[in-house]
Amino acid sequence: MDKETQLIEELVKNALYRLDESTRMVQKSLAAITEEDVWQKPNDSLNSIGNLILHICGNMTQYIISSLGENDDDRKRTKEFSAVGGFTKSELLKKLENTVDTAKRVIYDAPVEQLIKVRSVQGFQFSGVGVIMHAVEHYSYHTGQIAFWVKLLNNKDLGFYEGMDLNVKN
């Protein structure tokens, strides 16, 4: 196997891992809150956890499923932030899991040509690799916001790495 193929396989493997990690953390966060907590907003400048999940799904669909996967883009971004309900915790989680699973399949199946092809998304120019990096980073960013909000609501650590010694040196 040549170095370019190894590099692509490593990028894909790590992107899929990071998507799974964020999903695991969102699952754990949602398990720690009530149905009412999902749509609670601390103030008008912040989003509810429900809004954040809808936004993650919209962004991942636009960047990975539509752009990288070369499918139609019918995202309604404003609706992600204006929703004040309409989904239960389990419905939001299922929507997120289905979106991530579809995105992972698109990433896994993307040929090299798709990974290097430059395309326009939200007015930005990204290669397929750039699209993947954006979507993974964006998901991670909002996962941190969700975790912070849940910790604030419960005054309790979520234990994402419970049982692991994170002080181990390289």
Domain boundaries, the chain: 3-154
Please give the model's pTM, rounded to 2 decimal places: 0.94
User: Do 130 and 136 contact (CB within 8 A), yes or no?
Assistant: no
- Give the Cα separation of 17 and 21 in Å (integer): 6
pLDDT confidence band for 79 (50 / 70 / 90)? very high
- Give the Cα separation of 116 and 86 in Å (integer): 39
Q: What Å distances lie between residue 77 and 62, 74, 146, 152, CA to CA? A: 10, 9, 19, 27
Which stretches does DSSP call E strand in the chain? 118-121, 124-127
User: Do 100 and 60 contact (CB within 8 A), yes or no?
Assistant: yes
Which CATH code for domain 3-154?
A: 1.20.120.450
- Amino acid 170: pLDDT: 85
pLDDT confidence band for 42 (50 / 70 / 90)? confident
For the chain, what is the mean pLDDT? Answer: 95
- Amino acid 118: pLDDT: 97
For residue 38, what are the contacts with CB-CB under 8 A and spacing of at least 6?
A: 30, 48, 49, 50, 87, 88, 89, 92
**5-30: per-residue pLDDT in tens?**
898 899 999 999 999 999 999 999 99
